[in-house]
Amino acid sequence: MCESIVVVAVHPDDETLGCGGTLLRLREEGAEIHWLIVTSMTPEGGFSLDAIERRNLEIEAVTKMYGFATVHCLGFTTTHLDEIPMSQLVAAISKVFQSVQPSQVFLPFQHDVHSDHQYAFSAAYSCTKGFRYPSVRKVMMMETLSETDFSHSTGGGFVPNLFIDITDQFERKMQILQVFESEMQPHPFPRSEEGVKALALLRGAAAGCRYAESFITLKEIQ
């Protein structure tokens, strides 16, 4: 049976920063991958129509580069998740999980400094309860540069217990990141090419390979 994977990206590019190489590797191994994007640029959020159109084109291009089976844009206004009733956020994510029936789920780190990440984690994690979502066999939190790296001040640092070798997928991951032109900036900005490479090298050193991505496993059923 084909594995079904969902990555919960609070903002587009989170999936690539956090687990882009892993998604590519899983797809190469025959898994079906799905992209759940929680927030969107909206006029109400202060974004211009040009910026919104550029973002939509980025999402379209990245979808093709990964080969996502489905993309689910929930459309909540970015930086305003704290204004959404938790029940509404849970219901929206639950609908996607019920449709996709994922076996593996990638979530943002619960202590990321961005409030959008914290609210999205809480809502999505509640959609992994075994008695309601029996398809879910594995749940992991990913690290997102510019959010997770500041988490030591918000309740707990990121201490991974799972490392995935992405040496063969790293260059493709970097190509995908370049599509998000407005999100990447020169070093020493955290979301820089040098920053992404440095983190992958660091996690690779811990895993005994060239490049790796790391995760905190919250649940795994064998």
Cβ contacts of 10 within 8 Å, gap of 6 or more: 38, 39, 81, 108, 114, 116, 117, 120
Count: domains in the chain: 1
Number of helices (H), then strands (E), belonging to the chain: the values are 6, 7
Instruction: List, for the chain, all residue ranges whose pLDDT scores fall below the cut of 70.
Output: 1, 151-156
> What is the model's pLDDT at position 142?
98
**How many Cβ atoms sit within 10 Å of the Cβ of residue 214?**
25
pLDDT tens-digit map of 184-220:
777 887 788 999 999 999 999 999 999 999 999 999 9
> What is the model's pLDDT at position 44?
86
Question: How many angstroms separate the CA atoms of 222 and 220, rounded?
Answer: 6
What is the amino acid identity at position 140? Answer: M
- Which tokens is 120 given? 């999205």
- Which tokens is 69 given? 């089976």
Domain hosting residue 21, numbered range: 4-220
CB burial of 167-199 (b: ≥16 within 10 Å; e: otherwise) equals eebbebbbebbebbeebbeeeeebbbeebbeeb
* CATH number where 145 lies: 3.40.50.10320
> What is the model's pLDDT at position 154?
52
Quote the pTM value. 0.95
For tokens 């991958």, what's the residue? 33
Q: Would you call 131 helix, strand, or coil by DSSP?
A: coil
> What is the model's pLDDT at position 45?
87
Question: How many angstroms separate the CA atoms of 98 and 221, rounded?
Answer: 19
Cβ contacts of 27 within 8 Å, gap of 6 or more: 33, 66, 67
